[in-house]
A and B are shown apart, each in its own frame.
Chain A
Amino acid sequence: MLVLSRKPKESIVINGNITVSVLRVDNDNVRIGIEAPKTVPVMRKEIYQEISQNNLAAAGSNIDKLKKKQLVNS
């Protein structure tokens, strides 16, 4: 991992089109501003992990089994 030290109001540029700025540091809380092209999804890592893991589990759904179940129920 690349580690850079930044002070409040300083920034990091990624790939020439994404800017990550440290806006405020307050004890253990850091407020970060991100400017990125709209096509780049930006979100908290916890959210990304829960949705991507859910997608991964969903991709394994066996629809043949579900079809049989639906037919039995209907």
Chain B
Amino acid sequence: MLTIEHNLQNTETQAPDALETKPGIPLHFASGLLGFEQNHQFELILDEELQPFQWMKGVDADQSFLVIPPGFAADNYSVEISDDDVELLKLHDSKDAKVVCIATYHPNETVTVNLKGPIIYNQHTGEARQVVPLNASELPLSHPMGN
């Protein structure tokens, strides 16, 4: 089991370094996303107009998702992921892992963030997976994003 924490103090999106700030990080989902099992290739795009959100654009399908590093949505977000997920993503350390959560922009212009099924990816390989964390029962599916 590996615990991955995410809060704004250690978020990398504020530092102009490495992969995170470059547009178009390729992500490969071996198992797809839940409900979208046939879609494997996405690209994580940083768009200034969307900050702090990012755009996870489908490469092998038209499906695209609004995502956000969870530190912008909730304080002290922490997920425990299973050894199988750690092994699949080849995470040697929690520093190898990046977390983004899928956001829904509702027709009434509110935004909710899915903290229950986060996307974890290995920042060195781009291997990604939507995981159900071991502590999923404590995490909300539709966390309201404050304005």
Binding site for B on A (CB under 8 A): 38-41, 43, 47-48, 50-59, 61-63, 65-67, 69-71, 73
Chain B residues with Cβ below 8 Å from A56 are 35
The bracket for how many chain B residues form the interface is: 35 or more
Q: How far is the CB of B130 from chain A (nearest CB, A)?
A: 7
Q: Which of A50, A51, A53, A71 has the most CB of B within 10 A?
A: A51
Which residue of B is nearest A44, CB measured?
B132
Q: Which residues of B contact A39 (CB under 8 A)?
A: 30-31, 88
**Option from B30, B36, B88, B114 in Cβ contact (under 8 Å) with A59:** B36
- The distance from the CB of A73 to the nearest CB of chain B, in whole angstroms, is 7
Q: Which of B31, B87, B104, B147 makes the CB contact (< 8 A) with A58?
A: B104
Given that A63-B55, A65-B105, A73-B147 are contacting pairs, would A58 and B116 also be in contact in the complex, using a CB cutoff of 8 Å? no
> Quick check: B141 and A58 within 8 Å, CB to CB?
no
User: How many A-B pairs fall under 8 Å by CB?
Assistant: 83
- Tell me the minimal C-beta distance from A65 to chain B in angstroms: 7
**Main DSSP-derived SS at the A contact region:** helix
Whether A58 contacts B34 in the complex (CB less than 8 A), given A39-B88, A70-B50, A73-B147, comes out as no
Q: Is the CB of B132 within 8 A of A59?
A: no
Within 8 A of A (CB), among B13-48: 30-31, 33-36, 47
**Is B72 an interface residue when CB atoms closer than 8 A count as contact?**
no
Residue numbers in A under 8 Å from B55 (CB-CB): 63
